[in-house]
């Protein structure tokens, strides 16, 4: 059974629309009740342009400008569920803040979220969204995600919301022992969502299935 939504902050969307989204996520295999509750709680329509807000609770990616998208709710839930599989986390790094939606989902589930965005206007937008929702356990950086955030490493988990064609080794190095990296890898149209766990001896990779993300680019703008 999926969690019930509540009405606070959702005046522009119907309760039925939001509950349909949660039911769809559940039907597609999302079982972590905390993840489903956080999806129900965070007002996705607050993270996108008003012209698209009526589509906020569709299970689809939507444009947010600068060639970027707000991720599909199912993919957000799947990636979040994957890193939380073994229980609560302290420090999580997100590569690709975008509008801040995934950041806000993580903020309700872990102690501290660090997030990097290469586009300054998106970094500014995400800061505004996070501030408006009175979320206080995030640190947002305008920077190059390919470098990670070495000053804050190591991390219990890293989520990458854009697709590199090859795995960035530096992100593996910034994982804590036992930490997990979830990242879409591959060229456009042929990406696999990988869950990589760092052990004392090696990195163990699990393929979570085919996905479609915007490419992960070097540098900042």
Catalytic residues: 71
Contact present, 124 and 93 (Cβ < 8 Å)? no
Question: Which residue in the block uniquely carries the two structure tokens 């970094």?
Answer: 123
- Percent helix, strand and coil across the chain, each rounded to 5? 35, 30, 40
39: helix, strand or coil: helix
Instruction: Report whether 100 contacts 131 (CB < 8 A).
Output: no
On whether the CB atoms of residues 81 and 105 are closer than 8 A, the answer is: no
Of the candidates 109, 44, 60, 63, the one whose C-alpha atom is nearest the C-alpha of residue 82 is 109
Residue 192 has φ and ψ, to the nearest 5°, of: -115, 140
> First-to-last CA distance in the chain?
44
Please give the helix or strand (H or E) that residue 26 lies within, else none. helix 15-27
Q: Do 3 and 37 meet the contact criterion of CB atoms below 8 Å apart?
A: yes
| Paired residues of 42 in beta bridges | none
């Amino acid at each position: 059974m999926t969690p019930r939504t509540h009405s606070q902050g959702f005046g522009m969307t119907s309760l039925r629309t939001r509950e349909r989204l949660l039911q769809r996520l559940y039907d597609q295999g999302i079982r972590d009740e905390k993840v489903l509750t956080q999806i129900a709680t965070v007002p996705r329509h607050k993270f996108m342009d008003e012209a698209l807000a009526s589509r906020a609770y569709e299970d689809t990616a939507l444009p947010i400008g600068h060639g970027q998208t707000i991720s599909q709710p199912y993919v957000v839930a799947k990636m979040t569920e994957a890193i939380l599989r073994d229980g609560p986390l302290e420090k999580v790094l997100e590569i690709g803040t975008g509008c801040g939606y995934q950041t806000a989902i993580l903020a309700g589930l872990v102690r501290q979220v660090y997030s990097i965005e290469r586009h300054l206007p998106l970094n500014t937008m995400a800061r505004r969204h996070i501030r408006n929702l009175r979320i206080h356990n995030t640190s947002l950086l305008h920077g190059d995600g390919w470098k990670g955030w070495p000053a804050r490493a190591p991390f219990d988990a890293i989520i990458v919301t854009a697709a590199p064609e090859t795995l960035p080794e530096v992100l593996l190095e910034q994982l804590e022992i036992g930490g997990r990296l979830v990242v879409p890898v591959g060229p456009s149209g042929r990406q696999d969502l990988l869950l990589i766990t760092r052990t004392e001896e090696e990195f163990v990779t699990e393929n979570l299935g085919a996905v479609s993300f915007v490419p992960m680019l070097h540098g900042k703008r």
